Amino acid sequence: MTAKAFGKTVSRREAGFTLLELMVVVFIIALAAGIVLPRLPDTEGTRLKNSARNLASGIRFLNDQAIITKKVYRLHLELGENTTRITELSPTGEEMQPQDQFMGRRLVEEGIDIEDASVGSKGVVNEGEMIIPFGPGGLGDGVTIHLKAGKAQYTVIAYPSGGKVTVQEGYQEVTS
């Protein structure tokens, strides 16, 4: 079968691709990308941003749990080891592991540094352990935590009374 295009006779085969052929090619490329992209290694910047978001959601969750359950929780930041853990205070004042699985997950990914943290009047702490308390009224003091990976930095800011937590790129100073 032939057709006339611009004064030339062109066979159907030479006319180009059909819509169906193009759709099949796009589908194959999308399928390959869907398989390959999730397997690519995370970049340091992505891990840093994810850690900041995880830490912010953990703080929000702890604040809400403390208010709802009327229990006291503590977020322990180990600045030298760059780890976090959550404990629940029993009525006798003893620290114990919370029953909620969410509270046992890792908030800061491997390779991400907790540069420093400050809680209200305690000032800035950049080594050792910092304990952030969450009482029946939620978070009592404002909290600022700085995370670092290489030269990139993120700041997690938790405001008292209301449960608002923000994640900001860079090293942000918070003034009271």
Copy the structure tokens of residue 156. 């997690």
What pLDDT was estimated at residue 174?
77
Instruction: State the DSSP code for 128.
Output: S
* pLDDT of the residue at 119: 87
**Nearest CA among 123, 174, 122, 171 for reference residue 149:** 171
pTM for the model stands at 0.73
| Consecutive 10-residue averages of pLDDT for the chain (176 residues) | 57 74 94 84 82 92 91 90 89 85 83 89 86 89 91 91 88 78
Compute the distance between CA of residue 137 and CA of residue 163 in angstroms, rounded to an integer: 10
Task: Assess contact for 56 and 166: CB atoms under 8 A.
Answer: yes
In the chain, CATH 3.55.40.10 sits at 44-169
What's the confidence (pLDDT) of residue 7?
Answer: 59
Half-sphere exposure (CA, 13 Å, Cβ side) for 105?
Answer: 13
Residue of 107, 106, 127 lying closest to 117 (CA atoms): 127
The pLDDT assigned to 148 comes to 92
CATH number at 44-169: 3.55.40.10
